[in-house]
Amino acid sequence: MAVAGWERGARLALCTVGLALSVYAFHVETSKERDASYRAMCDISSAVSCSRVFTSRWGRGFGLVADFLGHHSLLNQPNSIFGIAFYILQVLLGFSNSGLAAFALLGSSLVSIAGSLYLAYILFFVLHDFCVVCVSTYLLNIALLFLNYKRLGYLNQAWQIHMPKVKRQ
């Protein structure tokens, strides 16, 4: 399966933006934890505050890990760490032409969409906030899902071309 050059470029661009947003989110969270008076660029008003979101209980381990594994669990990391890992995984798997990589890309995208939907619900209906960084990552994750779905289409075309035709009787 040959991966289109535009797809690799689009993936690299989306993941670069995702990585930058995730690193920024990590910076904001750690800065706010060190200094309660820290004001991030994304803290626009009381209703549009990314630092309030990042430092909420849902900003670490999706608000779930601490309940199940404890506050000191290795998995109870800032959500931005999971974002960094996700975007790096997307870039690395994006260089592979294998079918397994295509399925892993789509599978990890589906997990990211589930996480994005969950966190969007928390953002709007529990925290009653708007986080520009968060919503931007949700949109990036949707774009990556479409990109990964498109890659499966390329894989399907390659299989149809290279698989021998089975005679029907």
DSSP codes joined into one string, 13-75: HHHHHHHHHHHHHHHHHHHHHH-TT---TTB-SSSSBHHHHHTSGGGBGGGTHHHHH-TT-TT
Q: What's the rounded Cα separation, in Å, for the pair 54 and 109?
A: 22
Q: What pLDDT score does 98 carry?
A: 85
Angle subtended at Cα 83 by Cα 29 and Cα 72, rounded to the nearest 5 degrees: 60
- Please tell me the CATH code under which domain 5-157 is placed: 1.20.1440.130
Comparison of pLDDT for 2 and 29, the residue scoring more: 29
pLDDT digits (tens, 9 = 90+) for 135-157: 999 999 999 999 999 887 766 65
* Range 164-168 average pLDDT: 58
pLDDT digits (tens, 9 = 90+) for 76-127: 999 999 999 999 999 999 998 888 999 999 999 999 999 999 999 999 999 9
Model pTM? 0.87
